[in-house]
């Protein structure tokens, strides 16, 4: 059988190994100068035009962002149900309630009309997810937020370098969080980067990251230890020099798949949007699970389902209402390998396999 095509593959090279070695030899391995440099370089690289604060995971970044914006018990934050559990978990961990709205099926991101239907007098914010690397419907969401006096927070975990009408994701909200987990578009090992809309949010992020202190023993709030290490930051700094070429490769791979796949719904890209294809997600109208199994068993091609169980159906949240598009997407979504290590021969194998299986199953 042909070699296995994995659904994701972190790329770590000699430069990352050398950078880690440099930090280890320096004897300064916790948060220090590498983290400070990474924060500046990350903001500049993605043109965010605002300060960034590095933390030990994307989930920590969301949690600290929410705390920094004053979210807590009694508040409601509207999130998509169709996302990774970290989005809603971070809201719940502040003591606030995640309220799940539906998505639009064109780009799998929050549907502004659905969001508006869930607003109550407890609603404080909307937290869209730029799912799969496609920007959420920011102008429409901003209009809803403005009408009701709400904040916008961005879960940009999957969207390093994505933009809408020239504005990079992470530059729209009160804060924007990028994950640096190994399967994301770039990594630091584990880690997260949070952009801050203003000095107060930046200061709060730095406080909550480090026990509520900016200065040793001057504790201003009850905080956590969510610091990034210099070891991780050194990896991230190297990855920043490579991520643009990887993104270009993802976009080229996606273009080939979209031009050639048959029998499935390929991902759309909104006008004015730059999609960075963290995932290349098709919709399979009938027997998605069977197609995924046959891809693996008959063609040795990996795939992923992000996400087969909507958050409002998880045991942790259990909300008894129907979100039609979310539930349809959960049944139909299938993410095909699109990462930079996928070769032209791999792409051709994927096209043949998916198109053949989709026709047989239709
Ligand atoms: C990965 C991810 C997170 C969490 O990031 P971690 O670095 O894994 O903690 C949050 N939201 C979404 C949409 C993600 O994909």
Q: Are 63 and 87 in contact (CB under 8 A)?
A: no
Burial label, 339 (beta-carbon count in 10 A; 0-12, 13-18, 19+): buried
Rg (CA), the chain: 20
Q: Chain-wide mean pLDDT for the chain?
A: 97
Q: pLDDT per residue over 37-55, tens digit each?
A: 999 999 999 999 999 999 9
Enumerate the β-bridge partners of residue 255.
none
Going by pLDDT thresholds of 50, 70 and 90, the confidence category of residue 361 is confident
**How far is residue 119 from each of residues 140, 148, 173, 204, measured CA to CA in Å?**
15, 8, 18, 26
Ligand 1 centroid to residue 181 C-alpha, Å = 7
Ligand 1 centroid to residue 352 C-alpha, Å = 32
**Which of the residues are catalytic?**
184
226 lines ligand 1 (CB under 6 A): no
Beta pairing class for 123-126 and 76-80? parallel
Domains of the chain with bracketed CATH = 14-100+109-240 (3.40.640.10), 243-360 (3.90.1150.10)
Going by pLDDT thresholds of 50, 70 and 90, the confidence category of residue 362 is low
55 lines ligand 1 (CB under 6 A): no
* pLDDT at 245 exceeding the cut of 80: yes
* pLDDT at 360 exceeding the cut of 70: yes
Atom of ligand 1 nearest to the CA of 278: 15
Residue identifier of the C-alpha nearest atom 6 of ligand 1: 58
* pLDDT at 300 exceeding the cut of 80: yes
Ligand 1 centroid to residue 194 C-alpha, Å = 12
Distance from C-alpha of 61 to C-alpha of 176, rounded to nearest angstrom: 9
Ligand 1 centroid to residue 191 C-alpha, Å = 10
User: Distance between alpha carbon 235 and the CA centroid of its chain, in Å?
Assistant: 19
Q: pLDDT per residue over 139-161, tens digit each?
A: 999 999 999 999 999 999 999 99
Cα angle for residues 249, 157, 166 (degrees, 5° grid): 65
Whether this model's pTM surpasses 0.95: yes
* DSSP class of 48: -
Q: pLDDT per residue over 156-209, tens digit each?
A: 999 999 999 999 999 999 999 999 999 999 999 999 999 999 999 999 999 999
CA atoms within 13 Å, Cβ hemisphere of 213: 9
Distance from C-alpha of 271 to C-alpha of 288, rounded to nearest angstrom: 28
**12: how many CB neighbours lie within 10 A of its CB?**
15
Q: Is the dihedral of CA 101, 104, 105, 109 positive or negative?
A: negative
311 lines ligand 1 (CB under 6 A): no
Pocket test for ligand 1, best of 179, 278, 333 (most atoms within 8 A of CB): 179
Q: Are 106 and 135 in contact (CB under 8 A)?
A: no
**293: how many CB neighbours lie within 10 A of its CB?**
13
Q: How much of the chain exceeds pLDDT 70, in percent?
A: 100
Q: pLDDT per residue over 263-284, tens digit each?
A: 999 999 999 999 999 999 999 9
* DSSP class of 8: -
User: Which ranges of the chain does DSSP label H, i.e. alpha helix?
Assistant: 14-26, 33-45, 58-68, 85-93, 112-117, 138-148, 199-209, 230-240, 243-260, 288-299, 324-332, 344-361
84 lines ligand 1 (CB under 6 A): yes
Distance from C-alpha of 362 to C-alpha of 359, rounded to nearest angstrom: 5
């Amino acid at each position: 059988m042909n070699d296995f095509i994995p659904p994701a593959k972190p790329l770590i090279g000699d430069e990352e190994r050398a950078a880690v070695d440099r930090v280890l030899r320096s004897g300064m391995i916790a948060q220090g100068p590498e983290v400070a440099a990474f924060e500046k370089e990350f903001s500049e690289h993605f043109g965010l035009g605002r300060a960034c604060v590095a933390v030990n995971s994307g989930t920590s970044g969301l949690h600290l962002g929410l705390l920094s914006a004053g979210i807590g018990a009694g508040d409601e934050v509207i999130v998509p149900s169709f996302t990774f559990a970290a989005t809603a978990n971070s809201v719940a961990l502040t003591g606030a309630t995640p309220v799940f709205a539906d998505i639009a099926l064109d780009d799998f991101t929050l549907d502004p009309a659905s969001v508006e239907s869930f607003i109550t007098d407890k609603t404080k914010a909307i937290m869209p997810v730029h799912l799969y690397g496609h920007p959420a419907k920011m102008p429409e969401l901003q209009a809803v937020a403005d009408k009701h006096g709400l904040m916008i927070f961005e879960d940009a975990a999957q969207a390093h370098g994505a933009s809408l009408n020239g504005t990079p994701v992470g530059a729209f909200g009160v804060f924007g969080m990028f994950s640096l987990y190994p399967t994301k578009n770039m990594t630091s090992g584990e880690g997260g980067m949070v952009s801050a809309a203003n000095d107060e949010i930046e200061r709060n992020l730095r406080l909550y990251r480090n026990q509520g202190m900016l200065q040793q023993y001057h504790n201003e709030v009850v905080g956590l230890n969510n610091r990034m290490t210099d070891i991780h930051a050194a990896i991230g700094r190297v990855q920043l020099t490579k991520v643009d070429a990887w993104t270009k490769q993802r976009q080229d791979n996606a273009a080939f798949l979209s031009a050639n796949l048959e029998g499935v719904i390929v991902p759309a890209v909104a006008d004015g949007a730059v999609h960075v294809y963290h995932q290349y997600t098709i919709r399979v109208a009938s027997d998605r699970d069977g197609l995924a199994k046959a891809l693996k068993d008959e063609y040795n091609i990996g795939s992923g389902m992000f996400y087969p169980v909507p958050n409002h159906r998880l045991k942790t949240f259990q909300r008894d209402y129907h979100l039609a598009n979310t539930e349809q997407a959960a049944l139909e979504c299938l993410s095909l390998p699109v990462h930079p290590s996928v070769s032209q021969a791999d792409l051709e194998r994927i096209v043949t396999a998916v198109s053949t299986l989709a026709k047989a199953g239709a």
